[in-house]
Structure 1
Amino acid sequence: MAVLKVKFTKTKRDKLAQVLWILNWISVVTGAILFSLGTFLKVELNKRGELMSERDVQYVPNTLIAVGLIACAINFLGGKICYDCVDTAKFLRWKVVLLPYTACTFFFTFCVLVGALMCYSMHWELEEALNLGLTQAMRFYKDTDTPGRCFLKRTLDILQIEFQCCGNNGYRDWFQIQWISNRYLDMSKKEVIDRLRSNVEGKYLMDGVPFSCCNLNSPRPCIQQQITNNSAHYNYEHQTEELNLWMTGCRQALLEYYTHIMQSVGLTVLITWLFELSVLTGVRYLQTSLENVLRQGDPNSDSDGWLLETSLMETARTNLSIIKNLGKNNQIDAGHNRDPNVDVPSTSKAHYGPDNVPPKHNTEG
């Protein structure tokens, strides 16, 4: 039994074709929007690519760009097909193409849904990429004279000022790395030598942070050296001076920024998917109703249209049997392609006599 069967008159079929023609042209615009969203997201990720690890986080924008381009091509063709379907004579030229076009539209609509879900599932990959990338960039903060790393100090400073953040998870991350180059350390001072020797790896560690961690809203001059030493500063308690430094880690700040973008993009793609789903439904009804008209032979007669010719379970069972038969045919083809020079097992009838009777043993003395 057909699923969601609807009866169409000649007038309803023509109106459906005209509406689908308009919707397909609108879908060309939505395809361009998907392409633009993918390009925008790719640019935003590349802006701070040096602060991310080499984990692949580009698969989402690349998918949106590809789906957007495919949408423009498929819906442009669909608009032409639906426009010609008003005339039955013109429809005959597209009869062979209509079913593959419907299948391609279904696959494309599924890809749009996958793209929307990917926008919401990218959170964990992005968080891991930022965590590893920021940790690595902070280690190279001091390497202002090293080719390929000299820009990281400026990049991190701008990041911390723009996003009002400090460190990877917080300002204490700077206590665990040497962020001042040996070039700017006075090796003649005993304090510097002792601090270098006190660390197993020979690093100059201190409870200080770069200037870009300073909170612009702080009522007092920023304290960025000896942050945990209350006695080194007048009227200072580092555990309560929350306005002295930015308290948010840059990983969290960037993750919130990108999550907001991804949610906005994902919502737009999801709305596009719902729109494309309606177009796919209309195309399926138009295809089945016109095929039934051709079977009847009268272009002005009424015809039935449906989404599935049989029930969902029967359709799945039929497709599964087709797949199984394809597998069996491949096995048979493999048997026909067997090398004739290969020896046949001794149990074959070909080893018997011409009458397929086993030879008798001579028992006479």
Structure 2
Amino acid sequence: MDTNSFEALVVDKQGDDFKIGLQEMKLEDLSQGEVVIRVHYSSLNYKDGLACMANGGIVRSYLHIPGIDLAGTVLSSTDSRFSTDQKVIVTGFGLGVSHSGGFSSIARVPADWVVPLPPALELDEAMMIGTAGLTAALSIERLEYNGLNPQRGTVLVTGATGGVGSFAVALLAARGYQVAASTGKEAEHDYLRSLGASEIISREALNPASRRPLEKQAWAAAVDPVGGSSLAYILASLQYGGSVAVSGLTGGGDLPTTVHPFILRGANLLGIDSVHYPIERRYPLWEQIAVDLKSSGKLNQIGSSRIRLTEIPVYTEKILDGRIRGRIVIEI
């Protein structure tokens, strides 16, 4: 491929004038890095939706190519760890935020951001998983490090039809956990059960009109990509010594809680950040995700919609409004 002329989805903002659209780019237009990658697939995440809007608060400087995930083949590398035509994944770090991202036919990234594709995965499957699946897997890893096991009881997953939530339900079920999936979408109950949820909890049940500092003990743990007021209720409802792995704020950034769950029930609030997760620990985690999802057949049940670069602006509105089930894979 000619690296001196390729297409990318570009956002630009000059004063109050915001533009998004395809643009011809050259390699010199990209951020610096040791590895040049032919991008085959990317994916659409909530953070990408923010990057593709005028006041999303994500993009550091313009012109900019969004896209926090990519999977493709190496075109060239000045780092000996990577060779031409090698299949690789890049997620997190500054990709698509402070560094030109994956919504481009060509990407150039630092070698320390690159993960070899596990043999059990195809490139498009890696982007079905993407940052969402990695975040879900990291959440479960942290919960288990803090004492969670299937014998402890039911694990709650909020925002369960979204990317992180869907993968959390599927991964937990594949590892033998009883899973309660929370959603505000009644039409998606069968979908969540197909992923392995044994119980469906309404979104409203986690946001009661009145609440107490401590509620009845219900959950051994929770994976929460939602945050906000429902997180406060979940903390108050944890079993003794339980933990919540929180990775998002679609429900809001405020946390109206008290210290009671922490000092009277030994609750743990675990912050999950997949962006700066150490590169040396990423490959084993990707391998574990592949084993858990493919051996259980859950990856295809999560499903994905396939779109082109030109369709991204339409789908960013949907993902920001919470109207996406599963994953959006972008065919570059």
The TM-score normalised by the length of structure 1 is 0.16
Flag the structure with more relative contact order, 1 or 2, with Cα contacts below 8 A and sequence separation at least 6: 1
* Structure ranking higher in strand proportion: 2
The TM-score normalised by the length of structure 2 is 0.17
* Structure ranking higher in helix proportion: 1
